[in-house]
Amino acid sequence: MVQFLQQLINGLSIGSVYALMAVGYSLVYSIMNFSNFAHGGVIMFGAYFGFFFLTLFHFSFPVAFVSAALCTALLAVLIERTAYKPLRERKAPFLYFIICAMGASIFLENLVIAIPAIGPTFRTYPEIFSKEPFHLGLLTIGRLDVLMFIISAVCLALLVYFIDYTKVGKAIQATSYNIKASALMGINTDHIIIIIFALGGLFAGIAGVLFGMKYTVYPQIGMITNKSFIAAVFGGLGSLPGAVIGSILLGIIETFTSGYISSQYRDLIAFVLLIGILVVRPSGLMGKTTEDKA
């Protein structure tokens, strides 16, 4: 029983990391209908921004956290303006967007490696919160896990409020429903796209800093985001609750496979299960449409 609960806690903690990252994919997908693979690179930058704000500029943690998120929001918008906008104006097929996004992701990773002050070595965040975990009987819960859970929950709640109850949020919903019709109704869809990328960037920054604090910072963080992307597809790309639920489920499935079946075959078993679910429900758990999710 203790083992079961501990593995459940482990799974929730891993799932919440995926969830923070998956939200950014879903946000952009809901409007633009393509998978923004540059998101992984932006998350990596978020982790580095946070790290340098804390160690080089000696910001306090909340300040560093918020500034890192703002910087990544800016970065995400910058990528949109330079890489995607020209494609949008030329009405390029979606495949081009995906390839462009992959290019941006590879560019960002190599940019970090090429900057001598950063380089390929991995960095460790200073210890802001004690590594000593909470003990509940025989169970252990990491302090950072609790913090991450709270921050993610608050940010997601704010995001849902923003989308459901503000005027801009309504415009986002309309745009995600039909971008051409919304433009005809007087919504400045170009602004909406900027807002969406800024929001995605904000979440990338939050995810990056928390990831860096929990694990470490290195140029290949983007690799982990592949799994969160899969979680977003699993939950139903374009759906925010879907991204969160898909991520948490993926975390739990992974943990229980390694805990009870075999850690050697974890990915094999976990992903066969995912493919199975997608075969039954091609649009993911919460997805509305059956469009191409490439």
Partner 1 sequence: MSKKITAILLTCIMIITIGMTGCAKPADTAPTASDTIKVGWMGSLTGDQAVWGQCEFNTVKMLFEEINAKGGVLGKQLEAIGYDTKGDPQEAVNVAKRLTSQDKVVAIIGPNASGSAISIASTLEQAKVADIATVATNPKVTVLDGKVKPYNFRVCFIDPYQGAVAAGYAADVLKFKNAAILYDVADDYSQGLAEYFEKTFIEKGGAIVVKEGFKGGDVDFRPQLSKIKAANPDVIFMPYFFKEVALSANQARELGITAALMGGDGWPSDQLITMAKDAVNGSYIVNHLDFDDPEVQDLKTRYKAKYNQDLELNGFLGNDAVLMLVDAIQRAGEVDSEKIAKALETTDIKGVTGTIKIGKDTHNPEGKEAAIIKLVDGKYVFQQKYSPK
Q: How far is the CB of 244 from partner 1 (least distance, A)?
A: 18
Task: Tell me the one-letter amino acid at 246.
Answer: G
Q: Decide: is 142 part of the binding site for partner 1 (CB under 8 A).
A: yes
216 lines the binding site for partner 1 (CB under 8 A): yes
Q: Does 14 bind partner 1 (CB under 8 A)?
A: yes
CA nearest to 285, candidates 226, 224, 225, 238: 238
Nearer to partner 1, 208 or 219 (CB): 219
Number of residues that bind partner 1 (CB under 8 A): 36
Closest approach of Cβ 119 to partner 1, in Å?
Answer: 8
Does 234 bind partner 1 (CB under 8 A)? Our answer is no
Query: What's the rounded Cα separation, in Å, for the pair 29 and 25?
Result: 6
Residue 30 in contact with residue 238, Cβ under 8 Å? yes
Q: Residue 223, interface with partner 1 (CB under 8 A)? A: yes
Question: Under the criterion CB under 8 A, does residue 3 sit at the interface with partner 1?
Answer: yes
Binder among 61, 107, 149, 215 for partner 1 (CB under 8 A): 215
- The contact pattern for partner 1, residues 34-73, with x = CB under 8 A and - = no contact, is ----------------------------------------
Helix residue spans in the chain (DSSP H) = 2-32, 38-55, 61-79, 85-89, 94-114, 143-165, 167-177, 179-184, 189-214, 222-235, 240-256, 266-280
Contacts of residue 206, defined as CB under 8 A and 6 or more positions apart, other chains included, come to 20, 46, 65, 69, 151, 152, 155
Shortest distance in whole angstroms from residue 192 CB to partner 1: 34
Between 18 and 65, whose beta carbon lies closer to partner 1? 18
Cβ at position 143, least distance to partner 1 in Å: 9
Does 276 engage in binding with partner 1 (CB under 8 A)? no
- Answer for which of 178, 220, 289, 290 binds partner 1 (CB under 8 A) is 220
Asked if 72 and 42 count as a contact pair (C-beta separation under 8 A), the reply is yes
Q: How far is the CB of 221 from partner 1 (least distance, A)?
A: 9
**Pairs from 278-284 (Cβ < 8 Å, separation ≥ 24):** 278/233, 278/234, 283/236, 284/233, 284/234, 284/235, 284/236, 284/237, 284/239, 284/242, 284/246
Are the beta carbons of 50 and 204 closer than 8 angstroms?
no
In the DSSP assignment, the letter for residue 141 is: E
**Residues of span 108-137 touching partner 1 by CB under 8 A:** 110, 113, 119-122, 124, 131, 133
| Contacting positions for partner 1 (CB under 8 A) | 3, 6-7, 10-11, 13-14, 17, 110, 113, 119-122, 124, 131, 133, 140, 142, 215-216, 218-220, 223-224, 254-256, 258-259, 262-264, 266-267
